[in-house]
Amino acid sequence: MEGLMGFVRSPAATPIVRRSLFYASKSKKNSWLRAKLNAENDPLLQAATSAASLRFQEMHRPEPLFVDPYAGCLVHPDVQMDLKECSHQYCLATKFIDDNLLSTVNHIDGLKQVVLLTDGMDTRPYRLNWPTSTVIFDISSERIFKKSAEKLQGVGAKVPRNCLFLHVPLESSDIQHSLYAKGFNGNQPSIWAIQGLPVMTLANFKEILLVASSLAMSGCLFLGELPAWLAETEIGTKPSTEKWTNKLFMSNGFRVDLVGYDEVAKSLGKEESPGEYKNILFVAEQLQFSDDQMETWRRELQRVEEEGDEEGFEEL
């Protein structure tokens, strides 16, 4: 895929025409995220804070992969610093996603739509240099997002000028409808990225894929990290993981490539941190038309048919 840090994009495929889907999450109420949790013992908050801590530590390395000036307000003041020479896989993935998001939106004319599926503490809307007319949608836990938003506002974090940042609660009963309500347009290009989103079950991720498949135009990209356990196989058995991932994504209209963290590290001139990391890094391309594209095509076909009927009537 051209522009993806040296990873070659395969030739554009002919879009697959499919029936328009109903709102992907309408019958699924996302009950998996509605459990009441103690704020002092919240696993989602702990996971998001741990990720922010890794970004904070990366920023203080002699040659950081990226700079996150806002991570400090999201972590505990006494966070332990681990400045080993090797780069943590999470930070390698963060850099990979950052670069590909910017590379993609900078090649889109007009309105640019970015959908981030996050842990609620993603600082990309503030720290990345988004081009003018970029609309960023963050889908994450509402309680985590609110906590981080307060802290970020406290340190003066702002999105770039002439850009728009909108939050869509992961707890929404219908995420697809919520995105539409916020102004998402399936007839405009978009790029989707997932990192840190609390995926509890395989069914949860299938819902996410269904939403992306319904909204993303043909040719749009979906990239990021997935928990390796979703593949129901050990992370070391890459052929099995690839086969499972290909089947899952293709069933939703995406062609997917797995990206090795060692490949990313090598392309950046870094060394990958030793130890097991139970995530899968991927880049997928939408092969189908979005629901909005299908509706536009249907209306155009109907218009042509009606004009043809009128011409035939006049001849009579």
pLDDT digits (tens, 9 = 90+) for 72-110: 999 988 877 777 767 899 999 999 999 999 999 999 988
For range 17-30, the mean pLDDT: 40
Sign of CA dihedral 221, 51, 24, 257: positive
Q: For residues 157 and 312, which has the higher predicted lDDT (pLDDT)? A: 157
Which pLDDT score is estimated for 80? 73
Q: For residues 230 and 200, what is the distance between their CA atoms, to the nearest angstrom? A: 9
User: Which range is most confident: 7-11, 59-63, 79-83, 180-184?
Assistant: 180-184
The strand pairing partners of 137, in sequence order, are 115, 166
* Residue pair 216/137 in contact by the 8 Å Cβ criterion: no
Weakest-pLDDT range from 9-23, 75-89, 294-308: 9-23
First to last CA, the chain: 54
Which of the two residues, 18 and 123, has the higher pLDDT score?
123
Which residue, among 219, 227, 208, 217, has the nearest Cα to 296 in the 3D structure?
A: 217
Q: Specify the residue for token string 């506002």.
A: 153
Residue 314 has pLDDT above 90, yes or no: no
If you write DSSP's letter for every residue of 180-247 in order, what string do you get? HHTT--TTS-EEEEEEB----SHHHHHHHHHHHHHHSPTT-EEEEEEEGGGGTS-TT-HHHHHHHHHH
Instruction: Please state, as a whole number, how many other Cβ atoms lie within 10 Å of the Cβ of residue 5.
Output: 16
Mean residue pLDDT across the chain: 85
The pTM is what? 0.85
pLDDT category, 239, cuts 50, 70, 90? low
Pull the structure tokens for residue 36.
Answer: 């009441």
